[in-house]
Copies of this chain bind each other. A is one copy, B any other.
């Protein structure tokens, strides 16, 4: 039931087993992936059956297996789906304290709106799948990288502009921010309480702020 994820290694990056899709086909495929993403988000990979997805997406067995060789392939598509979702959301990098704080507030608001139910899309998948197959693990690394990139670019830009002290480490701060988000969401989800996420993000942001060169008045 998990073993199937151990044979996905062939393609190091992502199996681009693209077929010739008609517009109707693409629509169906997309619907399956989106539905799977939603169901998996709620019940986890192992807790999600193909039948669940079929019922939710209103498709038949053949349709799922027409577009995906097996469950592992569907899961891979879901990871891609989530990785891609980060991009268009934020058009520009958060390259100021204000923008970084907006990023944090946004994360906090999202969890509150969800009533603290459910974890991080990528974090949950990573926790469940990181050890199942090397191919999936690499896919997850790349997905996280896409989330981290804007933060890192933003912080690097700030330092390049001289807004951060030269001894500040933008890469480390970006990683710390991402880690605070992941850990904060996990604890917040478990406790059904925003405190952990808020404390984690606030603490790291305080550190960012203390690296900011305040223009002498």
A 29-54 binary contact with B (CB < 8 Å = 1; else 0): 00000000000001110110000000
Asked if A180 lies at the interface with its beta carbon under 8 angstroms from chain B, I say: yes
Indicate if the CB atoms of B43 and A123 lie closer than 8 Å: no
Asked if A172 lies at the interface with its beta carbon under 8 angstroms from chain B, I say: yes
Indicate if the CB atoms of A179 and B199 lie closer than 8 Å: yes
| A1 surroundings in chain B (CB, below 8 A) | 46-47
Q: How far is the CA of A192 from the CA of B134 in the complex (A)?
A: 11
Partner of A203, one of B131, B181, B207: B207
> How near does chain B come to A165, taking the closest CB pair, in angstroms?
12
> How near does chain B come to A16, taking the closest CB pair, in angstroms?
22
Asked if A97 lies at the interface with its beta carbon under 8 angstroms from chain B, I say: no
Q: Say which one of A19-27, A56-64, A102-110, A137-145 lies at the interface with B.
A: A137-145
| A171 surroundings in chain B (CB, below 8 A) | 199
Residue among A1, A171, A183, A189 with the highest chain B CB neighbour number at 10 A: A183
Indicate if the CB atoms of B128 and A127 lie closer than 8 Å: yes
Asked if A28 lies at the interface with its beta carbon under 8 angstroms from chain B, I say: no
Indicate if the CB atoms of A176 and B190 lie closer than 8 Å: no
Indicate if the CB atoms of B47 and A186 lie closer than 8 Å: no
Residue among A1, A141, A182 with the highest chain B CB neighbour number at 10 A: A182
Asked if A117 lies at the interface with its beta carbon under 8 angstroms from chain B, I say: yes
Indicate if the CB atoms of B204 and A123 lie closer than 8 Å: no
Q: How far is the CA of A206 from the CA of B203 in the complex (A)?
A: 10
Asked if A173 lies at the interface with its beta carbon under 8 angstroms from chain B, I say: yes
Partner of A199, one of B46, B128, B176, B200: B176
Asked if A191 lies at the interface with its beta carbon under 8 angstroms from chain B, I say: yes
Q: List 13 A-B contacts (CB under 8 A).
A: A2-B43, A46-B46, A118-B131, A119-B130, A130-B186, A137-B190, A169-B199, A176-B203, A179-B197, A179-B199, A179-B200, A182-B186, A206-B207
Q: Known pairs A137-B190, A210-B210. 5 more at Cβ < 8 A?
A: A173-B199, A173-B203, A179-B179, A179-B184, A180-B180
